[in-house]
Amino acid sequence: MKRLATAVAVIALCLSPMAHVPLAGQQQLLDYDTIHHPVVDDEAMVVSQNQLASRIGAQIMAEGGNAVDAAVATGFALAVTLPRAGNLGGGGFMLVYLASENRTVAIDYRSAAPAAAEAKLFLDRKGRRKDNADYGHMAAAVPGTVAGLKLAHERWGSLPWERVVRPAVEIARDGIVVTRDLSEALRWGRKRLESSDAAMATFFKPDGSPYVFGEKLRQPELAWTLERIATAGADDFYRGEIAKRIVADMEAQGGLIAASDLAAYEAKLREPIATDYRGLQVVTMPPASSGGVALLEMLNMLERFNLREMGHNSASTVHILSETMKLAYADRRKSMGDPDFVQNPVSTLISKAYAQERARLISRERSTPPEMISPFDPFAGESPDTTHFSVVDKQGNVVSNTYTLGSSFGSGALVEGAGFLLDNQIKNFSLRVNVPGATFSNSEMNKIEPGKRMLSSMTPTIVFREGKPYMVVGSPGGSTIINTVLQIILNVVDHDMNIAEATFAPRMHQNWKPSELELEPGFNIDSLRVLESLGHEIEVRDTIGSAQTIMLENGKILGAADPRRPGAAAVGVSNLRAFAE
């Protein structure tokens, strides 16, 4: 990130292209008066951060699978093609809309703390957090991804389990062509990976040199694991041969995950949470996601303001959004944790009455200092290296899924003989609860306990119009996820953008603490000066989030893959067929 004073020239060259006259009622699918256009399909679509994974999911639907089948196939494929974020060794959240039942379900497959995990293991004698909460086997929590994908498929999939896992087996065994994105990721990810001999043997050549664009990367150990999952079932990951390899690796490397931790892990069904925003219903993930609660709280507060009249990314709009974000982020940091361990005040936080009360604290004339909002400090910062994918099928079923390894390439530790990376989600617990002088990670609600799921910002979301799915939204980005999802919804609802415009538009982020207002290039210079005069301390950040979005409009499926991270793609089934002929 760059301070405003050193970034004015950059912003001046990147004035927002989004200041055109908005589309009237979104009636035209392709409007040649606009700059950005979605991918349009008649049948079904997958939008993910990797083109091959999107194609695999779309092909599953082309062969008769539904959105859940496609989501499972995409999730496993990303573990091969996007190793920095796609995963078997992490966890996440999934929303599924079931068209035949007209209901939405939420699956919580967030990683969980091993029974042996204690905060003192990750703190030095002065109460400072050690690197073992971030790097190596001790940083790994019990993975939930395989259990989560299995639960979704078991309940609502239509094709055989082996069929939807098989494409990932094949690309791991036969190899993937290294993209420029993957080559670059391995280059800068080397520092995290080089402490693991198994990771280096997997992602680098025998002489230690990196794979480069156009070369084949084969992952035979990962192929073995995926083959076991496909044929022996997901239970093998938690109680079978894969579990044995995980435990052996943990024992050899000093990790905390035991056989009993794996055997005890379960993905869980949760009740989604929702609010109405300007006539639409926004449905999202409950805790242990803090993102869903914060998103709904912000939407409820923002209903009091005429954002359309104020203008997209104007100084007044950015100021109101920033102040709203501060309030919601303060609430999420002090008020939430794993619902199986703590009682979350969700109904209060997402109520219209509470939003009205909080919105009264927003001044139009001045930025509110963070210390005047709440005395609590935030938990440890989350990494931006997560990934999201959105799926819609021809029956109208929808999946919105976000999952993560934590940091890019997770803990950097790869399970010997199994070929997959482990997360570093231990760092997202409040490890310094009751430590004298602690200035962060100080939330009692999110303290580490055996079997507990750490708080998360992941915010998979589905927006409904007149009872039918209208938008599917989600993003990686750590704490920026919530604000990314928020702005895409606002861009469509309040500023009449198509889904591509809404996804590509310059973004902002306010985290409460630290208090800087972060902006991507593309904001008007005069607006930034107004914001500074209101008391905002501005930092320019290269990118915020990387959303993979879908809109359903006029009987068509419109997808947008965020260009902020290379390699993302929206792949429609009818388009896939057309280009295959």
Give the pLDDT confidence of 184-216 residue by residue, as tens digits.
999 999 999 999 999 999 999 999 998 999 999
Neighbour count for residue 241 (Cβ, 10 Å): 15
**For residue 275, pLDDT beyond 90:** yes
500 touches 510 (CB < 8 A): no
Residue 20: its pLDDT value, please?
34
Residue 333: its pLDDT value, please?
74
Residue 7: its pLDDT value, please?
43
Q: Please tell me whether the peptide bond between 514 and the residue prior to it is cis, using omega within 30 degrees of 0.
A: yes
Q: 308: exposed, middle or buried (C-beta count within 10 Å: 0-12, 13-18, 19+)? A: middle
Tell me phi and psi for residue 272, to 5 degrees. Answer: -60, 160
- Of residues 374 and 553, more confidence is placed in 553
Neighbour count for residue 453 (Cβ, 10 Å): 29
DSSP assignment of 521-556 equals TTS-HHHHHHHHHTT--EEE-S-----EEEEEETTE
For 174, the enclosing helix (H) or strand (E) is helix 161-174
**Does the annotation place 457 within a ligand binding site?**
yes
Mean pLDDT taken over the chain: 91
Q: Is residue 129 part of a domain?
A: yes
Residue 134 structure tokens: 């971030």
Residue 508: its pLDDT value, please?
95
- Is 386 a residue of the active site? yes
Closest by CA position to 551, among listed 506, 492, 504, 495: 492
Residue 427: its pLDDT value, please?
92
Q: Is residue 77 part of a domain?
A: yes
User: What is the tally of structural domains in the chain?
Assistant: 1
**For residue 580, pLDDT beyond 50:** yes
**For residue 375, pLDDT beyond 60:** no
**For residue 345, pLDDT beyond 70:** yes
Residue 569 structure tokens: 């793609």
70 vs 53: CA distance, rounded Å? 10
Q: Is residue 108 part of a domain?
A: no
> Going by C-beta distance under 8 Å and a sequence separation of 6 or more, which residues neighbour residue 574?
41, 42, 43, 44
- Of residues 257 and 374, more confidence is placed in 257
Alpha carbon distance, N-terminus to C-terminus of the chain: 46
Q: What is the mean predicted confidence (pLDDT) over 135-161?
A: 98
Q: Could you report the per-residue pLDDT of 219-231, keeping only the tens digit for each?
A: 999 999 999 999 9
- Pairing of the two strands 517-519 and 538-540: parallel
Q: Is residue 213 part of a domain?
A: yes
Q: 389: exposed, middle or buried (C-beta count within 10 Å: 0-12, 13-18, 19+)? A: buried
**For residue 12, pLDDT beyond 80:** no
Residue 21 structure tokens: 């006259």
| Cα separations in angstroms, 18 against 30, 31, 309, 496 | 16, 14, 15, 11
302 vs 538: CA distance, rounded Å? 22
pLDDT band at 358 (very low <50, low <70, confident <90, very high): very high
**For residue 33, pLDDT beyond 70:** yes
112 touches 144 (CB < 8 A): yes
Closest by CA position to 44, among listed 579, 510, 577: 577
**Does the annotation place 478 within a ligand binding site?**
yes
Q: What's the distance, CA 193 to chain centroid?
A: 22
Q: What is the mean predicted confidence (pLDDT) over 416-425?
A: 97
Residue 306 structure tokens: 């005429």
Closest by CA position to 283, among listed 462, 482, 468: 462
Query: What amino acid is encoded at 363 in this protein?
Result: S
Q: Which domain holds residue 154?
A: 63-90+117-267+420-446
- % of the chain exceeding 70 in pLDDT: 91
**For residue 54, pLDDT beyond 80:** yes
> Going by C-beta distance under 8 Å and a sequence separation of 6 or more, which residues neighbour residue 316?
310, 364
**For residue 549, pLDDT beyond 80:** yes
Residue 18: its pLDDT value, please?
38
496 vs 25: CA distance, rounded Å? 7
**Does the annotation place 163 within a ligand binding site?**
no
**For residue 77, pLDDT beyond 60:** yes
Q: Is residue 82 part of a domain?
A: yes
246 vs 366: CA distance, rounded Å? 53
- Of residues 400 and 131, more confidence is placed in 400
Q: Is residue 490 part of a domain?
A: no
Residue 148: its pLDDT value, please?
99
287-291, 380-384, 489-493, 494-498: range with lowest mean pLDDT: 380-384
Residue 382: its pLDDT value, please?
52
**For residue 120, pLDDT beyond 80:** yes
For 51, the enclosing helix (H) or strand (E) is helix 51-62
Closest by CA position to 327, among listed 295, 285, 365: 295
Q: Choosing from 386, 387, 402, 459, which is the catalytic residue?
A: 386
CA angle 472, 478, 482 (to 5 degrees): 45
**For residue 24, pLDDT beyond 70:** no
Residue 442: its pLDDT value, please?
64
- % of the chain exceeding 90 in pLDDT: 80
164 vs 230: CA distance, rounded Å? 8
Q: Is residue 294 part of a domain?
A: no
Residue 432: its pLDDT value, please?
78
Residue 304 structure tokens: 């009091």
500-504, 520-524, 557-561: range with lowest mean pLDDT: 520-524
- Pairing of the two strands 386-392 and 398-404: antiparallel
- Of residues 31 and 430, more confidence is placed in 430
304 vs 543: CA distance, rounded Å? 29
135 touches 253 (CB < 8 A): no
**Does the annotation place 456 within a ligand binding site?**
yes
Q: Is residue 360 part of a domain?
A: no
**For residue 13, pLDDT beyond 50:** no
531 touches 317 (CB < 8 A): no
Residue 447: its pLDDT value, please?
92
Sign of CA dihedral 347, 351, 357, 361: positive
Query: What amino acid is encoded at 22 in this protein?
Result: P
